[in-house]
A = this chain, B = another copy of it.
Amino acid sequence: MQNVLAYLGENEPRFVRELCDYLRFPSVSAQSHHRSEVEAAARWLVDHCQSIGLDAQLRPTDGNPVVVAQTPRPASASSHRRRHFLLYGHYDVQPAEPLDLWKSPPFEPRIEGRSLFARGACDNKGQHFAHLKAVEAYLKTNTELPCDLTFVVEGEEEVGSKSLAPFLRKNRNELRCDATVISDTGIPDLKHPALTYALRGICAMEVKVHGPSRDLHSGICGGSVDNPALALCQLLARLRDKNGRITIPGFYDDVIPLSAYERKQLARIPFNEAAYRKFLGVPKLFGERGYTPQEQRTARPTIEINGLTSGYQGEGSKTIIPAWASAKLTFRLVPNQKPQRIHKVVAKHLKRLCPPTVRITIEGGHGGEPYLVPPTGPLAQAALRSLKSAFGCEPVLLREGGSIPIISDFKKILGVDALMLGLALPDDNPHSPNEKFSLDAFAKGMRMSALLWQELAST
């Protein structure tokens, strides 16, 4: 094991260079003009896995391909069943816009101190790459891996992972395993490594309000016809009250209330409200009354407007009544809210509120179920030991506010729980301009991964 850890330390500069190569692909799955670069990133990853000794393949799906890479299976292992763990990651990234807010181009990785800046650096290329390098260390030092590992790295996580569930169903036998390991969550800081035991789900939709059949002159017609942008604002305004409570009938029906134990655990996580407010750059925090900010952002459901579009947005002014107005909405969900049901209650409510002077259409986007797993089982305990050893401090238990919609697919299709061992720091700016990944988190993550297989194999 010393050889493995020494190899990781000695080769870190090369690993960072390789990660930079990976980050240069603008593998933005949401934007169809990046399609060829999405595939190029996947091909690069297959080649890289092969170069370190994995049996790697690009597997086609109805959408972007999945990279599957297996550690060599020892021939002698046929007599007793070795443990098998599945490592999940995604090679696709969020759109980089707005580009003018990046200090350096999003797909030209830049290192400043111990931070590596690039779109996808922490979400998620850097994180699954740490696991890959831990495996490389075993293989290149001829150290026996105590369990079998299979990497499953998909290319549609940022657009709803539509092809992954069919892929898992189709390859259920090959992918049968004891648990999945996923590093796509965050840690409070490098002194508080974390096991994440719950995730929020998501329900996305686009709401469009249609007014006149074309943009109208606001002088000639204004006053005698409704303005779809104002109608949209009036609809959306009514979805959340001033206490931060969502006003849609039935929205909270399936929410499991936070237990006293959970609220106590969540309160252990270091949190400085003033620093958090300053980090966000807002004059004052805002959230659902009766909950701490930590609870609000991880254990309570939300409504967000992700984008608004209507009328003229260019230079100067244009005196029109716009023909339509639209909003991209996402709701973050907590156990046991179901995306389909939330979509239904939201759509029903909006249609009921919509005045007769405009028309409303609602299109469903991607959805993902929330997830909750008790953190007291042997696998979770093994993970906590590897965290403690790699980081040199006591890990915390976390709920994560973000979504990894495929976690519940793994549970449903493969029947196993997920160990969520994320490496992203709170200021890593995933989905934002100037996304980064901590090279310290990368180094500790590689050690954690190397130790994890030992701990997991002995459970």
Contacts and interface: CB of A to CB of B under 8 A. Distances in A.
Contacts of A318: 30, 94-95, 306-307, 328, 431
Contacts of A365: 316-317
A232 interface: yes
A359 interface: yes
Nearest to A327: B229
A195 interface: no
Nearest to A403: B219
A325 B327 CA distance: 12
B236 A314 contact: no
A332 to B, nearest CB: 5
A285 interface: yes
Contact of A218 (B216, B234, B332): B332
Interface in A411-433: 426, 429-433
Question: In the complex this chain forms, how many copies of it are found?
Answer: 2
A164 to B, nearest CB: 17
A239 B229 CA distance: 13
A212 interface: yes
Contacts of A262: none
Interface stretch (A2-10, A220-228, A440-448): A220-228
A148 to B, nearest CB: 32
Interface string A327-341: 110101000000000
Contact of A212 (B282, B303, B309, B366): B282
A338 to B, nearest CB: 18
Given A224-B297, A357-B282, A402 B233 contact: no
B283 A31 contact: no
B312 A306 contact: yes
Contacts of A294: 224
B214 A433 contact: yes
Contacts of A30: 314-318
A286 interface: yes
A356 B224 CA distance: 35
Most chain B Cβ neighbours within 10 Å, of A202, A215, A276, A319? A319
A108 interface: no
A230 interface: yes
Given A282-B212, A312-B97, A316-B31, A297 B401 contact: no
A223 B356 contact: no
A162 to B, nearest CB: 12
A287 B400 CA distance: 47
Interface string A285-308: 111100001101110111111111
Contacts of A212: 280-282
A118 B200 CA distance: 52
B282 A218 contact: no
Contact of A230 (B287, B297, B301, B304): B304
A322 interface: yes
Given A309-B309, A322-B307, A328-B317, A215 B286 contact: no
A358 interface: yes
25 contacts: A30-B315, A32-B315, A97-B314, A202-B319, A211-B282, A214-B281, A214-B433, A216-B431, A218-B332, A221-B297, A222-B297, A222-B302, A224-B285, A229-B306, A230-B236, A230-B304, A233-B236, A233-B237, A234-B240, A283-B357, A306-B317, A306-B322, A307-B312, A308-B325, A320-B431
Interface of A: 29-32, 94-95, 97-98, 101, 159, 186, 200, 202, 204, 206, 211-227, 229-230, 232-234, 236-240, 242, 244, 276, 280-288, 293-294, 296-298, 300-322, 325, 327-328, 330, 332, 355-359, 365-366, 400-403, 426, 429-434
Please provide the 6 A-B residue pairs with the shortest distance between their CB atoms, ordered closest to farther. A213-B281, A219-B402, A30-B316, A237-B237, A307-B311, A229-B305
Given A220-B401, A221-B401, 11 more contacts: A186-B220, A204-B317, A214-B432, A216-B432, A223-B288, A223-B300, A227-B303, A305-B310, A306-B317, A306-B318, A308-B310
